[in-house]
Structure 1
Amino acid sequence: MTLPLRAIAVFDVVARCCSLTKAAAELYVTPSAVSQQIHSLEQHLGTTLLKKAGRGVALTEAGERYFEMIAEDVQRITEATQRIRGFRSRSALTVRTTPTLGSKWLLPRLQKFLDANPDVELRLNATTEPTDFSREAVDVEIRHGEGQWPGVYVEGLAEENFLPVCAPSYAPANSMDAGELEQHRLIYSVKAQLQWTQWFASAGVTPSAEWTRLLFDRSHMAIDAAADGLGVALDSNLMMWRELREGTLVCPVRNSPQFKLTTQWVVCPFDHLRKAKVQLFLEWLRQERSEWQNEQRLFTFSPDGVNESADKR
């Protein structure tokens, strides 16, 4: 059976606009022509995709499911068609990353990559969902986990040091022992590989049955909450490098246990390593990693929370 590709493309626009009139304007056709295409698609599928909603339209339950299934593929076809037609002369690089690494570590460094590679059009996709490279147009992913994914290239981004942190206004650096932490509000990143129970066990502390918690499903939210003085968070120096360097976060615990983990991994199919744009990105990423690691060796955090260069000590 022949797919009604034109009708599918029209439905994609209508679903995004939630308006037949706006979709018609974007497609340079009449609203009547849009309605005809939608009706044709509904007949083909044997179900209703749209319903009236005030002056506009809304997706039915079947319409929502259908749009979720086709939206990404329609976008891929659109971009592929534009590139083949010569609409874009630049090379498009799609990188998927975890939200926290993307906002806290990768984004502040991207200017150097863009300046060095002006012909590369970068698309950054932040999500915790692992990429299905067989059907998704993603060149490289930076994935959170333990690094054990068979059948793909895997390279650890960097070893991270996990430590408790808070705003210096909440508690000064090195101002308490590990056992005192349970008296404070503890900020949780619920998807992090290291949790407070593990930290307390390593510190030799048996916390009471109850303590005050603040929970987030994203580490960048936990980090920001700590910097805003809402409590004490447990996260890695990779994600908090800027806050630690600038002194907006300090470690309030004397002799905090050391937890070194690699939680972020560069992942892609082996054949993607032959792509010039992927090679450029990985070379730049390794250089940024090296500079960050050198910065960690050059700086320490003094008892009063002020950063000091190793050359001055």
Structure 2
Amino acid sequence: MHIPIKPIFVFHTAARAGSISRAAKELSVTPSAVSQQIQALELQLGVSLLAKAGRGIVLTEAGERYFSMIADQVEHIAEATATIKGFRSVTSLTIRATPTLSNKWLLPRLASFLDQQPDLEVRLDGTNEPTDFSQEIVDIELRHGDGRWPGLFVEGVVEEEFMPVCSPGYAAADSLSPEDLPKFRLIHSAKSQAQWTTWFPLAGVTSTDRWQRVLFDRSHMAIDAAARGMGIALESTLMMEEELASGRLVCPVASYPAIRLVTQWIVCPFDHLRRKKVRTFLDWLREERDAWAARR
């Protein structure tokens, strides 16, 4: 079915204005052109929509019903059109990143990128769901995983070190041995690639005790829980930079086995690397990454 978009908008304008001449002025056309569009719509619908009333117009019963049915939709279309029109000159960069990396590492640094690129509008989408670049409008993704995604550009962000951490009020720094940890509440991050079940054998600990534990779906929740004194977490130094620097988190174990992994990856289609905005973001990201590695 052909939808007469232009006549519908003209009718909406005339009905709202209550006058053919005022509608013509608003649309920058002649009153005759407005009348012709409305007549074409009436012909297609098979009903009369407007009637003359002195120098103005009134809606017929059918016109009132039709106007009430389309008014919200027409105004939404007009609003959406004005919004998109305003964005024509803006360059937008859409970044998808895991919630923990977004909150704990990227967001604290993002202001410097925005200051360097004042003409670039950034959207940060924090989710663990991998991007379907053929269906979604995402320029670049920082993805959690093992780095094996054929057909895409993939680059590791940085090697992370996983270590036990807790609030200094829960256990003082360097006050425990690995054998002591099963006696404490252990915080588990369900999706982390470093787990206590891996760490304890590396530390030479075989525990027969039933662990007291609390589990979280996101690493940033596990980090916050540890900082609040809820237990001991096994988390990445990349994600805990602020908490470690401020002393909100400490390592309670004097000597521990190091688990070093690359868990965060820069991912995008190869053709996205031709986009200047993507290259600009990657250059900044690598500088921040290298600066963090040097401080570590």
TM norm structure 2: 0.73
1:24-103 map, 5 Å: 36=69, 85=85, 87-103=87-103
Aligned residue for 2:160?
160
* Correspondence list, 1:224-263, <5 A: 224-263=224-263
2:207 is paired with a residue whose SS is coil
- The number of residue pairs the alignment matches comes to 235
For 1:173, the equivalent position in structure 2 comes to 173
Amino acid at match of 2:249: L
Alignment partner, residue 279 of structure 1: 279
Change (3 A) 1:171 1:119: same
Tell me what 1:19 maps to.
none
**Partner Cα distance (1:243, 1:171) in 2:** 15
The answer to whether the 8 A contact 2:152-2:268 is kept is yes
CA distance in 2: counterparts of 1:174 and 1:84, whole angstroms: 57
Whole-Å separation in 1 of the counterparts to 2:187 and 2:99: 18
Gaps (5+ residues) in structure 1? 6-29, 41-76, 297-313
Q: d(CA) in 1 for partners of 2:222 and 2:67?
A: 46
Contact 1:187 1:222 in 2 (8 A): yes
Separation (CA, whole Å) in 1 of partners of 2:64 and 2:104: 44
Question: 1:112 aligns to what?
Answer: 112
**2:51 counterpart residue number:** none
| Residues 165-204 of structure 1 mapped to structure 2, 5 A cutoff | 165-204=165-204
The one-letter code sitting in structure 1 at the alignment partner of 2:263 is: T
CA–CA distance in structure 2, aligned partners of residues 216 and 85 of structure 1: 43
The one-letter amino acid paired with 1:271 is: D
Residue 37 of structure 1: how far off its partner (Å): 5.9
Take 1:171 and 1:221, find their aligned partners in 2: how far apart are those partners?
19
TM-fit CA distance, 1:88? 3.8
**Residue matched to 2:25:** none
- Residue type at the aligned position of 1:293: A
Measured on the aligned residues, the alpha-carbon RMSD in Å equals 2.8
Q: Is the 8 A contact 1:82 1:88 kept in 2?
A: no
SS in structure 2 at match of 1:243: helix
1:208 is displaced (CA, Å) by 1.9
Q: CA deviation at 1:87?
A: 3.5
Show CA shifts across 1:140-194 (max 9, x none). Answer: 0000000000000000000000000001111111101101000000001000001
Partner Cα separation in structure 2 for residue 291 and residue 94 of structure 1 = 24
Rounded Cα–Cα distance in structure 2 between residues aligned with 1:131 and 1:284 = 22
Secondary structure, aligned partner of 1:101 = helix
Does the C-alpha gap of structure 1 residues 270 and 3 become closer, same or farther in structure 2, counting only changes over 3 Å?
A: farther
Moved over 2 A (4+): 1-5, 30-38, 80-88
Distance change in 2, residues 1:86/1:175 (3 Å): same
CA distance in 2, matches of 1:34, 1:208: 74
Please report how far the alpha carbon of residue 4 of structure 1 lies from its aligned counterpart in structure 2 after TM superposition: 11
CA distance in 1, matches of 2:216, 2:96: 21
Matched residue, 1:144:
144
Please list, as runs of the form range in 1=range in 2, the aligned pairs for 1:120-135 lying within 5 A after superposition.
120-135=120-135
Q: Distance in 2 between matches of 1:83 and 1:36?
A: 23
CA spacing shift, 1:34–1:142, aligned 2, 3 Å: farther
Letter in 2 for 1:286: R
**Which structure's CA Rg is the greater one?**
2
